[in-house]
Amino acid sequence: MLKLIEKILSFLPKPLQDLYHKYEEQLLYVLFGGLTTLISIVTKLAVFALVPDQGQPWRTTLAVTLSWIFAVTFAFFTNKAYVFKNQTKGAKEFFRVFASFYGARLLTFVLEEGIFLLCCDLMHWNETVITFVSQVLIFVANYVLSKLLVFRKKEKGEAE
C-alpha cells in the first residue's frame, strides 16, 4: 500500500511531496480512517436495510456492534502497520498493543452507543444523519486515543 502511495506521490510536484512527508502520519490516518469509516457506515446501513424496523432498540445496537467489529479490526491492522508504523517484539507486546487498541475503541464504542440510544431510540432522529455525525466525533476521539495511548512512542529509558 505504501509503495502505491509513493508511486502516486512521484507524479506530484516536489513541494507537495514534501508536504505529504511532513504530515504523513496524519494523512495516512485520514486515508485509513476514511476507509474505516466507510466500512462502519456501510455495515451499519446494511443492517438498517436488512433488519426491519419494528421499534425495537436492539436493531440499532446490532447495527452499531457489527459495524464496530468490522471497522475496529480493519483499523487495528492498518493503524499498526501503516499509520503509526508500530513494531512489536513478540506475542506479549503484540497482545498488549492489541488489547489497548481494542480497549480505547471500546470507550468510543460506548460513546457511539450512547449517541445512537439518545438520538435515534429516544429522540427518533434520522439514523442516517446520526450515523454520519457520530462518525466525525468517533474519528477524532480514536486518533487522540491511538496517538497518545496505544501507539505512543516510548521515551528513552522508559519501560516497555
> For 57-105, what is each residue's pLDDT tens digit?
789 889 989 998 999 999 999 999 999 999 888 999 999 999 999 999 9
Q: Is the pLDDT of residue 156 over 70?
A: no
Q: Is the pLDDT of residue 159 over 60?
A: no
Q: Which domain holds residue 79?
A: 37-49+57-150
Number of domains in the chain: 1
**Higher model confidence: residue 31 or residue 56?**
31
For residue 33, give every residue at least 6 positions away whose Cβ sits within 8 Å of its Cβ, in sequence order, or none: 75, 139, 142, 143
Does 65 reside within a domain? yes
Mean pLDDT of the chain: 90
Does 126 reside within a domain? yes
Q: Is the pLDDT of residue 32 over 80?
A: yes
For residue 48, give every residue at least 6 positions away whose Cβ sits within 8 Å of its Cβ, in sequence order, or none: 59, 63, 127, 128
Does 67 reside within a domain? yes
